[in-house]
Structure 1
Amino acid sequence: MVAAGIGFALPAGEVLCLLGPNGGGKTTLLRTLLGLIPPLAGRVRLGDADIRALPRRVVARRLAYVPQATPGGFAYPARELVAMGRAARLPLLAAPGRQDRQVAEAALARLGIAHLADRPVTELSGGERQLVLIARALAQEAACLVLDEPTASLDFGNQALVLRQVRDLAARDGLAVLMTTHHPDQAFLVGDRAAVLRDGRLEGPAPPEALLTPDRLRSAYGVETAIGALATAEGPRWVCVPLVRGTGGGGG
């Protein structure tokens, strides 16, 4: 999918949630923002520099990517996988030193998973693996995180665990976070702003409550939705519910 007319800035301390249907251009946009493919027009800037003018090692020091969690083919202990995030800050072929390992241990502790440090990542749950990948990104000490559907395939509890950490990384640590998701509820929960990418065109960014309307979600996903505020102990929370019409009754 070739996108056009894309333009936005992501300041420190903000979570931007990017939504859109499959095939709408999200993957192409992420790859462009990460500097993996060149833009056909315009520029991607990291701070005051064009990403194309920066060496890849410099990009990795400023921009960290968190893919969807996968089991992986190697049973690395979690602390070793997290320490790999230091690669961009080491000489070629050098092993992590004492300070690098301290940074990795601090990243594990920051996400509350220090107790998993010696566990092989192949034996962790999906949510635990995702937190390990986020810890690896934190070990890069980059100012911006790009997360590709960080809660994909996670159960309800692990989704909440990962989303809580995403919110804290922006609010407490001041990181800029770009997160793709298919769930409007997640944008309402953790997003400062949201954007919808479909047919190669971007709508937004704007506050989730202003952008994610039933009409826009219908256009993007082809489903009717109901959106409203739910009273909670922490104040009102916006929720989004798809309206699925069944073909039969279920009562007696």
Structure 2
Amino acid sequence: MAAHLEPEILLVDEVLAVGDAQFQKKCLGKMGDVAQAGRTVLFVSHNMIALRSLCPRAILLSGGVLINTGSSGDVIAAYLETGLTQTLEREWARPEDAPGTEAFKLRRLAIISNGSLSTEAIGREDEFRVEVEYWQLSSAKTNVNLRFYVDTQVMAFTTPSSSDPGWSYTASQTGLRRATCCVPANLLNTGLHRIELLAVQNEKVILQLEDALAFDIVETEARDGSWYGKWPGVVRPKFVWTNEHLG
């Protein structure tokens, strides 16, 4: 409909999140025509690459309140630092206050990126790790399981600490322990992710924490071409492709 209107202000809300490349090309063309005619285009998106490429200035809103305004680069940096929907660390100082059982108590959950506690959204091209600190209070082997959900609802995958070849030799040692899951770069798709934690002893779930942590994966590398939509799929691994001339 907007293609047949001549508004003074054109509001474009997440239009690049849908449609194919041809549809997006038409939308971008209309946005360009409106801007060149001296009218205003308000482009609403969570796509950082598109915002940085298309808009010289940006504003950051939360709950209808203006949080920040300025150049797109500065506002995007501020958005990534806010962590408005993220839970990147949880901590319990004393075992008696922590979730768990008489045999197992959580101490700390954290997402670590670039060598320190993550304070902003994670780039899709960056590796990160999930640290689970806990008090092992019995001699039963503890298997820590992490379930990764996309958009908080769809399970992408699950990974257990028993995947570590040395797990069976250390999982029953009592005291304060740390289990670490390393997530490689170029695996997760963009969007909000939730981690569910399960602690298992003697093949029995002794603790299940559905909303253990939450984090955002964002696009940080520029793309070739003019398509800015979200890639389909719950994961987005980066594969090696070659293209040869055969004749």
- TM-score w.r.t. the length of structure 2 is 0.34
The structure with the largest helix share of the pair is: 1
Task: Tell me: higher relative CO, structure 1 or 2? Use CA pairs within 8 A at least 6 residues apart.
Answer: 1
The structure with the largest strand share of the pair is: 2
Larger Rg over CA atoms: 2
- TM-score w.r.t. the length of structure 1 is 0.33
